[in-house]
Amino acid sequence: MTEQEQLRQLKEEYENMTIPEAGRERLLAGIDRARMEKKRAERARRRSAWTAVAAAAVVMIALPNTNMQIAHAMENIPVLGGFFRLVTVRQYNYSDENHDAEIELAQITYGEDTGEGIPVGEVAVGAAVPEGADAGNADGDEKEAAAAKLSEDGLEAVNQDMTATVEELIRQFEDTLSEEGYHGLHVSQEVVTDNAQYYTVKLSVLETEASGYEHNQFYTIDKQTGNVVTLADLFAEGSNYLTVISENIKTQMREQMAADEGVIYFLDDEDMPEFNFQGITEQTNFYFNEKGELVIAFDEYEVAPGSMGAPEFVIPQEVTAAILK
């Protein structure tokens, strides 16, 4: 049975049957899940495209694990001395009786602490060392230039993906202008992490038709290297981190549902086991909070009914301490 057929069948059951309140809630959750599956497939397609872009930007991050000489050289690269900033470069607004869009496109810039960031692509890299300059300073300049180049490569990949994502969302919205019914689109970006090691930007999308659908994309930059960070980059090889983190999330889900009957997750449902949360994947969104804790972020409908919004789970440091690199 296709997703559309499953959704239609569930709606018909809901409209034509008299069922107890508990059963009604379970059926509504099932309808939410069917809708979520359709959305999840679209998000998986988008994330796969992003992973391909990110992979090109993180080639160097794997080198320290495979080549000791390169690893030693990377240890000597200083923490980036510049500052990352998020700068709005485009705003798109549209409104009529049936359509509403407020869209913001921002880009990450990098520069020295001069009060203004340097747009990626304009970072001064590899400048010649003046004749007679101090050798130690020249060596430091070269390291700073190397760090700046790494920053430029990583940020360019992120900026390109954010631009492509926003432009595609605008195109899809404009395709709805000739359609009946309400269509809303709100897109924004914000910095959610800016500490000594990581810089993370969250791209938030709220699409509204008959109901709303919130989905997000998190981009994390390692300030040490300028590379885009993936989950795999954080954990030791062979640590089985996906299972470790997934089991902790399941424990948190069960604890929350036991404490509050209004909390519902797609977990331990014997009636619809195919919808139960199985675990995170390499493409699951994450970021670090102000305490340095790993936060796993899900889209709306991904692991819970729409009433739960876009759930996030803070993974305790005692869970990750033993498996981090």
What domains, with CATH codes, occur in the chain?
A: 10-58+230-325 (3.90.640.20), 66-223 (3.30.565.40)
pLDDT at 42: 54
**Which band of pLDDT confidence, cut at 50, 70 and 90, is reported for residue 303?**
very high
C-alpha–C-alpha distance, residues 159 and 74, integer Å: 24
Neighbours of 62 (CB within 10 A): 14
For residue 71, give Cα distances in angstroms to 9, 20, 66, 67, 318.
57, 63, 8, 6, 27
Mean pLDDT value across residues 22-26: 48
Tens digit of pLDDT for each residue in 131-160? 333 434 445 555 455 444 555 677 888 999
* pLDDT top residue among 52 and 308: 308
Q: Which of these, 54, 104, 114, 128, lies nearest to 83 by C-alpha position?
A: 114
Query: Which is more confidently placed, 281 or 37?
Result: 281
Q: Which of 216, 191, 192, 193 is nearest to 204 (CA)?
A: 216
| Mean pLDDT across the chain | 75
220 with 200: CB under 8 angstroms? yes
Residue located via tokens 């569930």: 10
Q: What's the pTM? A: 0.67
Positive/negative CA dihedral, 103, 107, 108, 109: negative
Place of tokens 């497939």: 41
Of 67-71, 199-203, 286-290, 310-314, the poorest mean pLDDT is in 67-71
pLDDT tens across 214-268, in order? 999 999 998 888 889 999 999 999 999 999 999 999 999 999 999 999 999 999 9
Q: Which two tokens stand for residue 249?
A: 């999330």
pLDDT tens-digit map of 151-193: 567 788 899 999 999 999 999 999 999 988 999 999 999 999 9
SS3 95: strand
